[in-house]
Structure formats: structure tokens, C-alpha cells
């Protein structure tokens, strides 16, 4: 149990270190960094590598944005097996739809309740 | 005057009144005692950031008019600008003020480009009083040039913090007890192929250097209390001083060099490299520095406001950041 938590913490943290290096060293914008992480996750799953990564790191692999790319590929491949090429299109958002819908719904709720502020970090 | 960028104003147009207003975070500024209006609400009691921005401009202009003992009808022209698309906050404020109005955009150098233009109108004797200045409001400008603040994007240490504030003044004919515009140098666009919008100080420093160097070459032998750039920040200032040192131009300048952006929030590291925005140079120049000129604490200052002439689209299309710096030499007899 404890070792699972530690592995998840360290691996998740290392993923974030990669993201931070993309900001600070490669000088990528937040949007570019985010997209790149999603693409990496997607490609890794395409080679069947993301599932073993999740088995190893647990939340350390599912919480970072890379897992969104993994879910995109995962859904597309699963549906493609059932429905062929059309399945690639329909499947892509099948697994990820809950995440996308949640982002929209909670975004709307937050915007209704709160007002943004210029706060120093 | 042919082939020159520096102009002397023989009629000595004087800044007869100024007003400066800021938002809540600007209370942390060491310049606070010299700000006329300090608001607790960053939207100035308005529904949106942009409406608040317009309100800030309107109220600061009204105060500058009132402090000078004038009426809105005494103003021949309002020359102003800000950083939002199509300078709508300024346009909307001008709608309320109902003075003759021309909008100007020189990014963060608008504080000085409006003052230079006003000086020409006064020198030509066609106008009596010109209200000039610029403003910025943190939330709406960050949304425009960087990321909406709701996004919570990280900024590197070279990043700067857009000031919520506006500084406006009224330029009129020479008055003995007021600071006057002695001369001005119009900037050229300088582009050193830098592309990082989170390090605008470094992009603008060469433009500031170009203008300072030219102005000094046209005013040889003049001694200044100091030269003050607009919003190079700590990072950009260091680069400018390096440029001055290595070029060998008036090495005495280095000790007498200040930057409004680097000083604006004191030594607080949370504001990263310092302040920026069209309201940064405007509030510092026309607030604390103007007040000290009035008290004759200083006699001659060269203001060099710098502007980064990029748009979010030009940045997304991979263009570099062209920059400009305009200079005004204010004197007090």
C-alpha cells in the first residue's frame, strides 16, 4: 500500500518535471506543452505501453494529462475493433467524454459562482 | 531639423496638472503616497474588467482636469491609449468625457508618445490644453497578451506584471512653476529577433538604448538627474545597462539610470521581473516623479518609455517582437 503510494507520487512527479522542463528549458507555451503531453500519452498507448505504465505507477500515470491521450487512443482502438474505421472516430471520445463533459460542467459552475482575481502567485 | 529624430520645444510647453489612479495590488508599491486615487476593487465597481478599465481612464482624466482647475470643455484634445484590442477602454472613456479625442497606440510607450504629440500641438500654438496619458488594467491586458488569469498559467522569472493604473496630464503653455517639455526623441522600431513574450524586457532594451543614445548625442553636455525607462523590468534594465557599459556611451549614465517597472513593486519577487503595461510608466512618471519635479527636488529628467509592438496573433504566427522607445526630456527651471 505505502509503496504503491510512493511509486505513484514519484512517477507522477517525474511526469510533471518533464512538463516543467518543456516550459523552462524548451520554452514551450502552456498550450504546446499540454498538447505534447497528450500526444505522448496517445502514442505510448498506440504501442501498447501505457497500460503497463498504469499497472506500475497507478495514479502517477492516470492523473497527469498524458492519460487523456492514452484514453483517446484506447477508445479509438476498442471501437475500431467493433466497427472498423468509423469506430476510430466514434471511439475517440467514448472513454474521454466524461472528462470533457466534467470540464465543461464544472467550468460553467465555477464561472457562475466566482469572479477571477489578479492574484500574485 | 532635417534628418533628425530629436526636437527642441522653444515654447516650453508645461505639464500643468496630472492625476494618477491605481488598483488594489498597487498598494504594495513604494510609490503609493504619490497615487491620487487607490481603488480596492480591481474592476472599479464595474461588471467586467474592460468596463473597469474604461472607468479607470475616465476617472483619472476627470481628476487631472479638476486638479488643474479646468472644465472638460477647456480641453482641446484628449490624446490617449491602452493595450486592449482597438483601444476600446480609452475609446469608451472618451465617449463619456466628450472632449475632442484621438486614440494612440505605442503599446507601453503610449504615455510618452501622447506627450510628444501634445507638445507639437502646443508648440504650433493651435491648441491651449491637451490631455494626454495612458492606462492598463491587469486582468484585461493579461487576457489580451498572455493568458486569461483564470487559466492560472505559470510565468518564468523574466515575466512581468501588468500594472492596474492610469496616469494622465494636461499640457499647456509655459508656466514658470511647472515642469516643461524641453525636447523629445521619436523612437525607431528596433527588432532583435527575440520571440519570448514572457521576456519583453530583453526585447525592449535595445530599443531603449537606441533612443537614449540618439537623444544624448543631440543634447551633448546636458547633465540629467537621471534617465528613467518605462517597463524594462529588472531583467531588461540589467540588459540595457550592459548595452550602455559595453558601448562606452556616457558611462556616467549607468549610476543615474532608473526603471519604473523595476521599481514599481519594490523588491517583491512575487512580481517577478517587475511591472509592465501602459499604466506603469504613466503612473510613475506623472505621479511620484512629476511631484518631485514640482518640488524642484530634480531639475532635468529623461523619460524613455518602451513598448513591445506585438499582437497575440503575430506571436502565434512565430513573428519576432518589434519594439520602440520614445523619449521626453522634462525640465524645471
- List, for residues A89-118, the tens digit of each pLDDT value: 999 888 899 889 999 999 999 989 988 776
Establish if A118 belongs to a structural domain.
Answer: no
Best probe of the B interface among A22, A34, A118, by most B CBs < 10 A, is A118
Establish if B41 belongs to a structural domain.
Answer: yes
Helix, strand, coil percentages, rounded to 5, for chain A: 80, 0, 20
Contact across the interface for B151 and A30, Cβ inside 8 Å: yes
Contact present, B158 and B321 (Cβ < 8 Å):
no
Establish if A119 belongs to a structural domain.
Answer: no
pLDDT at B89: 98
Contact across the interface for B156 and A24, Cβ inside 8 Å: yes
The domain tally of chain B equals: 2
Q: Tell whether B138 and B231 lie within a shared domain.
A: no
Establish if B56 belongs to a structural domain.
Answer: yes
pLDDT at B56 over 70: yes
B322 vs B221, residue with greater confidence: B322
Give residues with Cβ within 8 angstroms of B189, minimum separation 6: B207, B309, B322, B323, B324
Is B266 touching A (CB cutoff 8 A)? no
Single residue among B152, B172, B192 that ends a domain in this structure: B172
Contact present, B36 and B63 (Cβ < 8 Å):
yes
pLDDT at B3: 63
Give the pLDDT band of residue B315 (cuts 50, 70, 90): confident
pLDDT at B107: 96
Average pLDDT for residues B246-250, to the nearest whole number?
76
pLDDT at B13 over 90: yes
Establish if B234 belongs to a structural domain.
Answer: yes
Q: Tell whether B149 and B261 lie within a shared domain.
A: no
pLDDT at B157 over 90: no
Cβ contacts of A24 on chain B, cutoff 8 Å:
156
Q: What percent of chain A has pLDDT over 90?
A: 78
Single residue among B155, B172, B189 that ends a domain in this structure: B172
Give the pLDDT band of residue B101 (cuts 50, 70, 90): very high
Query: What ipTM was predicted for this assembly?
Result: 0.72
pLDDT at A121 over 60: no
Contact across the interface for B270 and A121, Cβ inside 8 Å: yes
Contact across the interface for A120 and B161, Cβ inside 8 Å: yes
Chain A neighbours among B 103-142 (CB < 8 Å)? 138-139, 142
Average pLDDT for residues B191-205, to the nearest whole number?
91
Contact across the interface for A118 and B139, Cβ inside 8 Å: yes
DSSP B15: E
Is B66 touching A (CB cutoff 8 A)? no
pLDDT at B2 over 60: no
DSSP B211: H
pLDDT at B197: 82
pLDDT at A75 over 60: yes
Neighbours of B301 (CB within 10 A): 24
pLDDT at A30: 84
pLDDT at B276 over 80: yes
Contact across the interface for B25 and A120, Cβ inside 8 Å: yes
Best probe of the B interface among A22, A33, A120, by most B CBs < 10 A, is A120
Establish if A120 belongs to a structural domain.
Answer: no
pLDDT at B220: 82
The domain tally of chain A equals: 1
Cβ contacts of A119 on chain B, cutoff 8 Å:
149
pLDDT at B252: 60
Q: Tally the residues of chain A.
A: 121
Contact present, B22 and B60 (Cβ < 8 Å):
no
pLDDT at B151: 76
Give residues with Cβ within 8 angstroms of B95, minimum separation 6: none
Is B249 touching A (CB cutoff 8 A)? no
Is B45 touching A (CB cutoff 8 A)? no
Range of the domain at B165: 6-172
The C-alpha of B153 sits at a distance from chain A's nearest C-alpha, in angstroms, of: 7
pTM given for the model: 0.90
Average pLDDT for residues A59-88, to the nearest whole number?
93
Helix (H) or strand (E) holding A67, with range, is helix A66-83
Establish if A13 belongs to a structural domain.
Answer: yes
The domain that holds B249 is classified in CATH as 3.40.47.40
The C-alpha of A20 sits at a distance from chain B's nearest C-alpha, in angstroms, of: 10
Establish if B1 belongs to a structural domain.
Answer: no
Q: Tell whether B166 and B205 lie within a shared domain.
A: no
Q: Tell whether B146 and B80 lie within a shared domain.
A: yes
Q: Tell whether B68 and B156 lie within a shared domain.
A: yes
Establish if A95 belongs to a structural domain.
Answer: yes
pLDDT at B172: 98
Average pLDDT for residues B287-311, to the nearest whole number?
96
Contact present, A37 and A69 (Cβ < 8 Å):
yes
Is B154 touching A (CB cutoff 8 A)? yes
pLDDT at B156: 81
For the record, the C-alpha cell of B290 comes out as 512629476
pLDDT at B10 over 70: yes
Cβ contacts of A121 on chain B, cutoff 8 Å:
154-155, 270
Q: How far is CA B180 from CA A72, B223, B268, in A?
A: 65, 16, 34
Cβ contacts of B155 on chain A, cutoff 8 Å:
121
**pLDDT averaged over every residue in chain B:** 94
Contact across the interface for B270 and A120, Cβ inside 8 Å: yes
Q: How far apart are CA A72 and CA A95, in angstroms?
A: 7
pLDDT at A120: 66
Q: What percent of chain B has pLDDT over 70?
A: 97
Q: Tell whether B131 and B215 lie within a shared domain.
A: no
pLDDT at B96 over 60: yes
Residue of chain B with shortest Cα separation from A115: B150
Average pLDDT for residues B74-95, to the nearest whole number?
97
For the record, the C-alpha cell of B279 comes out as 499604466
Is B151 touching A (CB cutoff 8 A)? yes
* φ, ψ dihedrals at B40, nearest 5°: -85, -15
Single residue among B121, B143, B172 that ends a domain in this structure: B172
The C-alpha of A118 sits at a distance from chain B's nearest C-alpha, in angstroms, of: 6
Contact present, B197 and B83 (Cβ < 8 Å):
no
Give the pLDDT band of residue B192 (cuts 50, 70, 90): very high
Amino acid at each position: 500500500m505505502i509503496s504503491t503510494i510512493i511509486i505513484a507520487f514519484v512517477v507522477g512527479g517525474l511526469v510533471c518535471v518533464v512538463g516543467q522542463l518543456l516550459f523552462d528549458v524548451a520554452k514551450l507555451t502552456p498550450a504546446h506543452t499540454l498538447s505534447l503531453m497528450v500526444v505522448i500519452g496517445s502514442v505510448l498507448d498506440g504501442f501498447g505501453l501505457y497500460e503497463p505504465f498504469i499497472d506500475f505507477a497507478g495514479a502517477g500515470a492516470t492523473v497527469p494529462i498524458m492519460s487523456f491521450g492514452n484514453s483517446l487512443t484506447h477508445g479509438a482502438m476498442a471501437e475500431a475493433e467493433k466497427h472498423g474505421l468509423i469506430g476510430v472516430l466514434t471511439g475517440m471520445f467514448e472513454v474521454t467524454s466524461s472528462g470533457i463533459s466534467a470540464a465543461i460542467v464544472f467550468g460553467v459552475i465555477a464561472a457562475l459562482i466566482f469572479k477571477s482575481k489578479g492574484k500574485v502567485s | 531639423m532635417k534628418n533628425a529624430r530629436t526636437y527642441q520645444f522653444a515654447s516650453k510647453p508645461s505639464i500643468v496638472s496630472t492625476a494618477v489612479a491605481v488598483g488594489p495590488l498597487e498598494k504594495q508599491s513604494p510609490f503609493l503616497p504619490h497615487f491620487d486615487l487607490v481603488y480596492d476593487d480591481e474592476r472599479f465597481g464595474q461588471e467586467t474588467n474592460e468596463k473597469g478599465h474604461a472607468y479607470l481612464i475616465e476617472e483619472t482624466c476627470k481628476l487631472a482636469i479638476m486638479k488643474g482647475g479646468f472644465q472638460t470643455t477647456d480641453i482641446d484634445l484628449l490624446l490617449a491609449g491602452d493595450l486592449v484590442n482597438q483601444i476600446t477602454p480609452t475609446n469608451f472613456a472618451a465617449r463619456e468625457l466628450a472632449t475632442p479625442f484621438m486614440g494612440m497606440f505605442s503599446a507601453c510607450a503610449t504615455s510618452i508618445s501622447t506627450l510628444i504629440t501634445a507638445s507639437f500641438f502646443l508648440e504650433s500654438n493651435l491648441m491651449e490644453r491637451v490631455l494626454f496619458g495612458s492606462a492598463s488594467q491587469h486582468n484585461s491586458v493579461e487576457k489580451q497578451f498572455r493568458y486569461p488569469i483564470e487559466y492560472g498559467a505559470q510565468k518564468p522569472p523574466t515575466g512581468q506584471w501588468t500594472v492596474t493604473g492610469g496616469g494622465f496630464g494636461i499640457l499647456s503653455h509655459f508656466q514658470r512653476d511647472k515642469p516643461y517639455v524641453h525636447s523629445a526623441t521619436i523612437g525607431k522600431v528596433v527588432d532583435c529577433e527575440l520571440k519570448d513574450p514572457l521576456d519583453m524586457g530583453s526585447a525592449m532594451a535595445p530599443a531603449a538604448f537606441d533612443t537614449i543614445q540618439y537623444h544624448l548625442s543631440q543634447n551633448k553636455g546636458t547633465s540629467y538627474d537621471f534617465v528613467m525607462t518605462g517597463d524594462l523590468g529588472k531583467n531588461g534594465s540589467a540588459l540595457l545597462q550592459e548595452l550602455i557599459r559595453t558601448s562606452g556611451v556616457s558611462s556616467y549614465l549607468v549610476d543615474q539610470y532608473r526603471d519604473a517597472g523595476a521599481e514599481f513593486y519594490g523588491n517583491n519577487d512575487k512580481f517577478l521581473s517587475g511591472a509592465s503595461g501602459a499604466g506603469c510608466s504613466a503612473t510613475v512618471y506623472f505621479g511620484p516623479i512629476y511631484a518631485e519635479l514640482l518640488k524642484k527636488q530634480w531639475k532635468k529628467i529623461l523619460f524613455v518609455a518602451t513598448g513591445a509592438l506585438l499582437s497575440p496573433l503575430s506571436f502565434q504566427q512565430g513573428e519576432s517582437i518589434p519594439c520602440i522607445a520614445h523619449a521626453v526630456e522634462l525640465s524645471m527651471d
